[in-house]
Chains A and B, each alone.
Chain A
Amino acid sequence: MQSEAQVKFQKEANLRKNAESSEALAKDKAISLEEKFNHLSGSIERERKHLNNELSQFKKESKLSVSRIKADLERMECRAYSAENESELLKQQSEDLRVQLDECRRQKNEAERKILCFSSSSNDVNSSEALILVKHLQEELRNFESEVQEARMLKSSHESNELMQVKLLEEKGRRERVESELLKLQEVQLSVEKLEDELMTWRSMINEIPGVSCSDDIRRKFAALQAEVIQNMMKNGEVTAQLKEIEVVLEATELGKQYAESEAKLAKEKAEQSMSEVKRLELLLSSVNEEKDRLRKDANAGKTQRNVEPEAEKKSDTFIQELEDALAKKECSITELESQLCEYKEVISRQHGEIKLLTERLSNEARRLKSLERESDQLRSEISLLESKLGHGDFSAASTKVLRMVNTLAVDNEAKQTIETLRTELQKTKEKLQAVQELKVQSADAGNLIDSNISEKLAQLKAQIATLEKREERYKTVFAEKISVFRRACCSLFGYKIVMDDRQRSDGIPVTRFILQSLYAQTDDEKLEFEYESGNTNILGNDYASQPEISRQVEIFIRKMNSIPAFTANLTMESFNRRTLS
């Protein structure tokens, strides 16, 4: 019963372990899902915001430009229509005027001819009349000239009308562009809708996660799950410890098993030995029995002989006696041997029992061994699972902190690139502006519109550049502040004011020169100069360094001991002592 219960218990334990492992797997999955979700929700949120911003901007821009362009268009159309009508009218007028002009010219010619006739025929008679006529004619002529001017004006307006038509075409092109942008806007709206759908699915997924009603709950839940994971890790540690213990026990039992096996072998050998001895004894017994039979036969033969030969009776009697004695002895030895045989048999049966017991123990141990191996496999798989988690980059926040080295490489590059792109954009805009200004000369109205558009954009870009430049300035000031703090700290900690400058050697290799001046220097000339180039620092000779006392120290500390810090420290101590003593 107990063994059954144990088996059941073991089964239950196995089941529990399986359940635990599946739970751990599920948790793992949950963690990965959470990360995915966080990542996705973050990116979606960002993208959505970005798109929303863009969309609203687009919307505003497009609405503005559409309405502006529509108004423009209508105005232009009206104007064009009216201009067309006007031009038609003017054409008619000019046609009439031309006819009139022709008529006038003809009349004028006629008049001139008449005047000539008059002048030739009656120069004196009708001179006063003719003068009046001439005046009249001149007046008419002036009238006609003014009319001609009017006609010219009409013609120029006709030309401007054609220009307006060209502009109209341009505006139409713009309208088309705006329409295409509107199409794009629709696409953007579609993508926004798609993103919103996605967001909805994520929300529904949040709803599907049990015990979670909002995103804050997820965090709490995942915190709980993480705590559980940590617990499980601890459990895992315990389990590995158990595993180790079990392995130790396993090794002990294996040793025991080997020992038992060798004992069993020995016992078997012993049993075989005793069997062979038993056989030997049986053989001995049979031979003794044979001898006994033979002796009996001899005795019987002796008796019959006694009957035949009475004189030999005495002899034979002693012989018989002897034989009987020998017989008795033999019987005695037989019983002894039989008892010995019994003893051996007992020993053998005992040993058989012992062997049975040992084999039973052996099979028990083998069973235990198998179960332990199963357990160790399970634990190994668990360990590999945890190791993979570790490889993924997980860590326990209780004992570990993740730090990031401030990487200004990308930031610098990005800022530079942004400034560069903004600059090119500005250049382009300037060019555009110039083109527009040229156009503006031709058409003041349309030009104004474009100008306002571009100036708006320009202002935007300028503002962007200004903020970026401000940021750069701020970085620079922060950096300068930090550097000065660092320098002052270095000075007060190590006792040297450090001045650094970059220069090029005569062979073109860039080197950095450091000039150190001790806090305890008594004159301004007490300066040490060092050159730093790709990890190597060398002292440079100058007046101060070539003083015998200093050059001796340079020789000892730098050249022999290869330690600049020891040299500077020693110098600091000496300067300090000199200063305080003096």
Chain B
Amino acid sequence: MASKNTTKDIITLRGSSAIVSEFFGYAANSILYNRGVYPEESFVKVKKYGLPMLLTEDENVKSFITNLTAQLSEWLEAGKLQRIVLVIMSKSTGEVLERWNFSIETDKEAVEKGVSREKSDKEIMREIQAIMRQIASSITYLPCLDEQCVFDVLAYTDNDVEVPFTWIESDPKLIANPQMVKLHAFDTKIHKVDTLVSYKNDEWDEE
């Protein structure tokens, strides 16, 4: 009953961008940890979204993710970001093994007219929490990554976006005939983020 009485929080474009880019930072850390791209001991536990989350302590990775989220929030505020993809590839062959796909729908009115929306922070946090739980549990169905892997981040932006200094145009790094699992979505009323993981088909399953 009490929750019904809580007032809804005002969400601005800037605030929403901050929520989404922060979410991506934590999600990327969680994926790198859970998929074993970096060793377990290079992560520390922190509390976020009401869950114990893991953050990398590797200085290079840390600065990479910090620069990344800064750029993402810039694009999000301009409403130019359509999708973010975290790609996990084999280190030796460069073959793409997993694609963590975060599709973003931006409220055009909020970008063009600066309209703000209402949604409680608690509700957004609950939605993000569900996604984080799903990422953590994804190891139960995703194929084992036996080899050493590296990661890459792709951003699908509008065509008129100027390419920043540390970014280059790239191919989409697709997986041929992938398996797909749709995860939960979250919505700040300004940005709607749909999560989907596609991964390389395990040949043994088809036999």
B166 CB–A CB distance under 8 Å: yes
B166 near A406 (CB under 8 angstroms)? yes
At the interface with chain A, which of B121-129, B132-140, B146-154?
Answer: B146-154
Q: In B186-207, which residues have CB < 8 Å from any A CB?
A: 196, 198
Q: In A405-438, which residues have CB < 8 Å from any B CB?
A: 405-410, 412
A400 near B150 (CB under 8 angstroms)? no
B174 near A392 (CB under 8 angstroms)? yes
A405 near B156 (CB under 8 angstroms)? no
CA distance A288 to B159 in the complex (A): 94
A6 CB–B CB distance under 8 Å: no
**Of the residues A35, A394, A395, A412, contact of B60 by C-beta under 8 Å:** A412
B116 CB–A CB distance under 8 Å: no
B170 CB–A CB distance under 8 Å: yes
B34 CB–A CB distance under 8 Å: no
CB-CB nearest in chain B for A38: B176
Contacts of A412 in B (CB 8 A): 60
Contacts of B82 in A (CB 8 A): 395, 400
- Minimum Cβ distance to chain B for residue A178 (Å): 29
CB-CB nearest in chain B for A29: B177
B156 near A404 (CB under 8 angstroms)? no
Q: In B35-77, which residues have CB < 8 Å from any A CB?
A: 60-61, 64, 67-68, 71
- Minimum Cβ distance to chain A for residue B111 (Å): 16
B64 near A405 (CB under 8 angstroms)? yes
How many residues of B sit at the interface, in one of the four size bands?
Answer: 35 or more
CA distance A398 to B158 in the complex (A): 9
A82 CB–B CB distance under 8 Å: no
Contacts of A410 in B (CB 8 A): 91, 150
A388 CB–B CB distance under 8 Å: yes
Q: In A374-418, which residues have CB < 8 Å from any B CB?
A: 388, 391-395, 398-410, 412
A68 CB–B CB distance under 8 Å: no
Q: In B141-167, which residues have CB < 8 Å from any A CB?
A: 150-159, 161, 163, 165-167
- Given the interface pairs A403-B169, A405-B67, the reply to whether A393 lies near B163 with Cβ below 8 Å is no
CA distance A394 to B171 in the complex (A): 11
CB-CB nearest in chain B for A40: B176
A404 near B170 (CB under 8 angstroms)? yes
Contacts of A406 in B (CB 8 A): 166-168
CB-CB nearest in chain A for B67: A405
- Given the interface pairs A392-B178, A409-B61, the reply to whether A401 lies near B169 with Cβ below 8 Å is yes
A32 near B176 (CB under 8 angstroms)? yes
A39 CB–B CB distance under 8 Å: yes
- Minimum Cβ distance to chain A for residue B155 (Å): 5
Contacts of B85 in A (CB 8 A): 393
- Minimum Cβ distance to chain A for residue B169 (Å): 6
CA distance A505 to B165 in the complex (A): 33
B174 near A400 (CB under 8 angstroms)? no
CA distance A407 to B94 in the complex (A): 14
B182 CB–A CB distance under 8 Å: yes
B158 near A399 (CB under 8 angstroms)? yes
B16 CB–A CB distance under 8 Å: no
CB-CB nearest in chain B for A486: B165
Binary interface encoding of chain A residues 193-232 relative to chain B, with 1 for a CB under 8 A from any of its CBs, else 0: 0000000000000000000000000000000000000000
Contacts of B170 in A (CB 8 A): 402-404
> 3 tightest A-B contacts by CB?
A404-B170, A410-B150, A36-B176
| Other 18 A-B pairs with CB < 8 A, given A395-B172, A410-B91 | A32-B176, A35-B176, A391-B182, A392-B174, A392-B198, A398-B159, A401-B159, A402-B154, A402-B156, A403-B156, A403-B163, A404-B168, A405-B68, A406-B166, A407-B150, A407-B153, A409-B150, A482-B165
Residues of A within 8 A of B (CB): 32, 35-36, 39, 388, 391-395, 398-410, 412, 482, 486
Can you offer 19 A-B residue contacts whose CB atoms are under 8 A?
A36-B177, A391-B101, A391-B182, A393-B198, A399-B159, A402-B154, A402-B171, A403-B155, A403-B167, A403-B168, A404-B153, A404-B155, A404-B168, A405-B71, A405-B155, A406-B167, A407-B153, A409-B60, A410-B91
